[in-house]
Structures are given as C-alpha cells and as structure tokens.
Amino acid sequence: MGNEKLDQLYRSVIMDHYKTPRNKGVLESSNVTIDMNNPTCGDVIHLTLQVEDDIVKDAKFEGEGCSISMASASMMTQLIKGKNTEDAVTAAHAFSDMMLGKDIDDSMDFGDIEALTGVAKFPARIKCATLPWKAMEKGIASDSE
C-alpha cells in the first residue's frame, strides 16, 4: 500500500508538532481569550494571547482535534509570538490563501508552516488547518475593539 499521498499531508514536521506541540497550555497573563470550534467535526481550540502595544507578547493553546488542527495551532502560536498584530492578521490571510492552493507572497516567511501546503489537496481537512488561525484573527479583532 503506497503511503506517498499520505506523506504529502502528514509531513514529518507536522507529525512532530502534533506529537510535541509548542506553546501548549493556558497563559496566566493573557488579556485575550478565544474559544472556537468546528461545528462539523467537533474540533475545539482554546487560545490565550498576551497582547501589549499591538504586539503579541505570548500565545498558548489548548484544544482537542486531529493532527492537522493541533499541529497548525502549534505552528501558528510559534509564528505570531513577537509579531505585531497587523502582521499576525496578514499571516492568517496568507495562510487561508495557501489552503486554497493559491501562491503566497514570497515575503511571507512561513518556515515550518509551509509543510501544511499539502492540506490544500485534501478539501475535507482544510477547515481543520484554518481553525487556529481563525481563532487568532478573531482574538486580535476583539482586542482592538
């Protein structure tokens, strides 16, 4: 049985983030808290951010979901830490584009996150990957209100 196509989805970087998630937990010092779920499959994420002077100082997540959603959450929190909120939102939009199979701006330094490009070929799984990013976007929007 060939696993080539599976390997395109479950790149080793993704499995690494799934098995040893970064920034897992709840931030004591958070000033932004977001809960989001994916109603079609039951995935849930609890994201806590510490935003000061428009900078994401720290981020942590808790959640329950598949390897794709949890790895995506781990990578997302890693990326946005230290970024200003505007850049974080831009990254969320670029990530959405990537999931739609669109080419993304070269200036976007996604690093590990590019391993998730394979998800675009699995339409049923795109929502898994975008859930943490949607949560982050919503959190930042609520903070700037």
Partner 1 sequence: MLNNDIRKDFPILDQEVNGHPLVYLDSAATSQKPRQVIEAIANYYQNDNANVHRGVHTLGNRATEGYEGARETVRKFLNASSTEEIVFTRGTTTALNLIAQSYGRANISEGDEILITYMEHHSNIIPWQQLAKATGAVLKYIDLEEDGTLSLEKVSDAMTDQTKIVSMMYVSNVLGTMNPIKQITEIAHAHSAIMVVDAAQAAPHLKLDVQDLDCDFLAFSGHKLCGPTGIGALYGKKALLNEMEPIEFGGEMIDFVGLYDSSWKELPWKFEGGTPIIAGAIGMAAAIDYIESIGLGTIEKHEHELVAYAMEQMKTVEGLEIYGPRDSSKRAGIVTFNLEGVHPHDLATVLDMNGVAVRAGHHCCQPLMKWLDVSATARASFYLYNTKEDVDRLVEGLRMAKEYFQ
Q: Where does this chain touch partner 1 (CB under 8 A) — which range of 6-14, 20-28, 73-81, 133-141?
A: 6-14
Site for partner 1 contains 2 (CB under 8 A): yes
List CB contacts of 89: < 8 A, sequence separation 6 or more: 137, 140, 141
**Cα–Cα distance between 132 and 138 in angstroms, integer?**
10
44 or 104: CB nearest partner 1: 44
Of these, 64, 86, 105, 109, which contacts partner 1 (CB under 8 A)? 64
Q: What are phi and psi of 56, to 5 degrees?
A: -80, 100
- Residue identified by tokens 């669109």 is 102
Residue of 125, 130, 132, 140 that binds partner 1 (CB under 8 A): 125
| DSSP-derived secondary structure for 29-88 | T-SEEEEEEETTTTEEEEEEEEEETTEEEEEEEEEE--HHHHHHHHHHHHHHTT-BHHHH
- Determine, following the binding rule CB under 8 A, whether residue 67 of this chain makes contact with partner 1: yes
The answer to whether 11 contacts partner 1 (rule: CB under 8 A) is: no
Q: Is 95 in the site for partner 1 (CB under 8 A)?
A: no
Is there binding between residue 121 and partner 1 (CB under 8 A)? no
Binding-site member from 54, 97, 110, 122 for partner 1 (CB under 8 A): 122
